[in-house]
């Protein structure tokens, strides 16, 4: 979702607030041109200008600008103005632009925002551009070509894929004598956390009880889901059980002390050595190598029955504005960014494993972290555990934010479990409207 993403949206136990800060970037430092007024423009010689906006880090911005240079070389009559922001700032600005009828022509998007902005009449249905031959939806990996479809409309095109995983400190797990394997259960996971606590003096996990996307997998393992197309897919009793167990884990030392987690931000609790593992999106693994001093690896998601993980491939996407004056050029831009092999070589796994076969084959990681990510996703595809993604209704982004905030408050003891559950449902009903 996940950024992320996590949406990024959207990974919780790798502290989302910390990730958002890390993902921030200085526009001025890169000499980028902020988005101007109007949705695209033209000139007397037939050259058109489209505006492209995304969220992410300075490094992502540098990579994206390299890909834009390639695009403008291939399409000299299309110029691209760029704008990037940290995650939260991006959506604040985008919401203001969309409300004023002036969104960027093309922009980075995530599953949690498709229905929200489709309902606001903001997103361009790209199906017409596919039919016109300006955008190809062929050659995508693992069914990703349907990821951005909502009610028959093509509202986003994936640029990469990721899936939830458990990132572990391999030295800590070895010391504790824990070897996660596909099919291990939640009971096995809880026992592993206890071993880590008892043998290393470190909490086992950084706080998975606050990760919306992890709870979604847990629900899916039980035949439910976090969302339906227009509501929440679970009950207050379900959430009370999840958060009661999480609160007990904090008190027993299985989960990190949330005060300590807050103190080390924006560094992750895992890299700061106050947790032995944490749940996040697989392509975030590079974060730990740069932040920490240990060895980090990817472990399977625990299961209820030893088989069903509930996992799916998530993805960042590119979407177009319904108000753009240049839908053809927007489609050509998206097509280039998801199919051109040179783009993959520049972007690497910055936005996940490349979504198309051609780009995935063009970029073969040489670093161990990249190899681990590739192997992890290949294993998910090969073993057939992947399922369709849970629908995200309009307002899902508000529900995710509330889930993270309230989970932290109950862990800190500033809210009871009952109060946190009640407040979450109150806020979610208001946001989603069910």
Token duo for residue 395? 């307002």
Concatenating the DSSP letter of every residue in 188-228 gives HHHHHHHHHHHHHSSEEES-GGG-HHHHHHHHHHTT--SB-
Candidate from 22-26, 256-260, 323-327, 341-345 with smallest mean pLDDT:
22-26
Mean pLDDT of the chain: 89
The pLDDT, as a whole number, for residue 9 is: 33
| Helical spans, DSSP H, in 292-395 | 327-339, 341-347, 357-362, 368-383
Q: Name the DSSP letter for residue 303.
A: B
Look up the pTM and report it: 0.83
- Given a cut of 80, is residue 342 above it in pLDDT? yes
The pLDDT, as a whole number, for residue 348 is: 93
The pLDDT, as a whole number, for residue 57 is: 83
The pLDDT, as a whole number, for residue 269 is: 95
How many CB atoms are located within 10 Å of the residue 240 CB?
Answer: 15
Q: Name the DSSP letter for residue 312.
A: -
- Given a cut of 50, is residue 361 above it in pLDDT? yes
- For 106, the enclosing helix (H) or strand (E) is strand 106-109
Residue 65 CA: distances (Å) to CA of 52, 320, 364: 11, 18, 21
For residue 84, list its beta bridge partners.
54
Q: Is the dihedral of CA 345, 14, 3, 182 positive or negative?
A: positive
Concatenating the DSSP letter of every residue in 114-169 gives HHHHHHTT-B--THHHHHTTSS---SBSTTGGGTTEETTEE--EESEEB-EEEEEE
The pLDDT, as a whole number, for residue 333 is: 98
The pLDDT, as a whole number, for residue 43 is: 65
What is the pLDDT averaged over residues 114-122? Answer: 94
Distance CA 88, CA 21 (A): 9
Q: How confident is the model at residue 87 (pLDDT cuts 50, 70, 90)?
A: confident
Domain boundaries, the chain: 16-161+321-381
Give the residue, 78 or 288, on which the prediction is more confident: 78
Q: Mind listing the pLDDT tens digit for each residue in 397-418?
A: 999 999 999 999 999 999 999 9
Q: Mind listing the pLDDT tens digit for each residue in 262-292?
A: 999 888 999 999 999 999 999 888 788 888 9
For residue 165, list its beta bridge partners.
280
Distance CA 185, CA 428 (A): 30
- Given a cut of 50, is residue 8 above it in pLDDT? no
What is the pLDDT averaged over residues 344-365? Answer: 95
What is the pLDDT averaged over residues 340-352? Answer: 95
Q: Mind listing the pLDDT tens digit for each residue in 127-179?
A: 999 999 999 999 999 889 999 999 999 999 999 999 999 999 999 999 999 99
Among the CATH numbers 1.10.10.10, 3.10.129.10, 3.40.190.10, 3.40.50.300, which is that of 16-161+321-381? 3.40.190.10
The pLDDT, as a whole number, for residue 273 is: 96
What is the pLDDT averaged over residues 23-30? Answer: 33
Distance CA 434, CA 247 (A): 28
- Given a cut of 90, is residue 205 above it in pLDDT? yes
């Amino acid at each position: 979702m996940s950024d992320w993403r996590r949406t990024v949206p959207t990974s919780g136990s790798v502290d989302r607030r910390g990730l958002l800060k890390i993902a921030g970037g200085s526009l001025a430092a890169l000499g980028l041109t902020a988005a101007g007024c109007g949705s695209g423009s033209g000139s007397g010689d037939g050259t058109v200008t489209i505006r492209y906006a995304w969220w992410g880090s300075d490094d992502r911005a540098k990579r994206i600008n390299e890909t834009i240079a390639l695009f403008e070389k291939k399409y000299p009559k299309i110029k691209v103005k760029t704008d990037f922001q940290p995650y939260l700032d991006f959506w604040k600005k985008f919401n203001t632009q969309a409300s004023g009828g002036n969104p960027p022509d093309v922009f980075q998007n995530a599953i949690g925002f498709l229905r929200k902005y489709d309902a606001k009449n903001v997103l361009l249905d790209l199906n017409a551009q596919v039919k016109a031959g300006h955008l190809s939806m062929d050659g995508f990996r693992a069914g990703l070509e349907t990821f951005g479809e909502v009610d028959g409309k093509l509202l986003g095109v994936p640029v990469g894929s990721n899936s939830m995983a458990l990132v572990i400190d391999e030295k800590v797990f070895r010391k504790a004598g824990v070897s996660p394997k596909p099919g291990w259960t939640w009971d096995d996971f809880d026992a592993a956390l206890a071993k880590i606590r008892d043998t290393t003096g470190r909490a086992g996990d950084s706080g998975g009880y606050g990760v919306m996307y992890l709870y979604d997998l847990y629900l899916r393992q039980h035949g439910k889901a976090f969302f339906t197309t227009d509501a929440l897919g679970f009950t207050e009793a379900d959430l009370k059980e999840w958060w009661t167990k999480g609160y007990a884990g904090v008190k027993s030392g299985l989960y990190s002390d949330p005060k300590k987690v807050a103190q080390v931000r924006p560094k992750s609790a895992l890299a700061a050595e106050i947790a032995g593992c944490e749940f996040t999106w697989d392509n975030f693994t590079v974060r730990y190598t740069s932040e920490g001093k240990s060895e980090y690896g990817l472990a399977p998601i625990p299961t209820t029955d030893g088989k069903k993980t509930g996992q799916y491939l998530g993805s960042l996407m590119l979407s177009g504005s319904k108000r753009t004056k240049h839908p053809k050029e927007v489609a050509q831009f998206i097509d280039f960014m998801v199919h051109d092999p040179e783009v993959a070589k520049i972007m690497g796994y910055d936005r996940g494993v490349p979504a198309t076969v051609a780009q995935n084959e063009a970029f073969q990681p040489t670093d161990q972290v990249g190899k681990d990510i590739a192997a992890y996703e290949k294993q998910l595809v090969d073993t057939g555990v992947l399922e369709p993604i849970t629908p995200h209704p309009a307002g899902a982004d508000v529900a995710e934010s509330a889930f993270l905030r309230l989970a932290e408050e109950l862990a800190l003891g500033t809210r009871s479990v009952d109060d946190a559950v009640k407040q979450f449902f109150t806020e979610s009903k208001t946001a989603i409207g069910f």
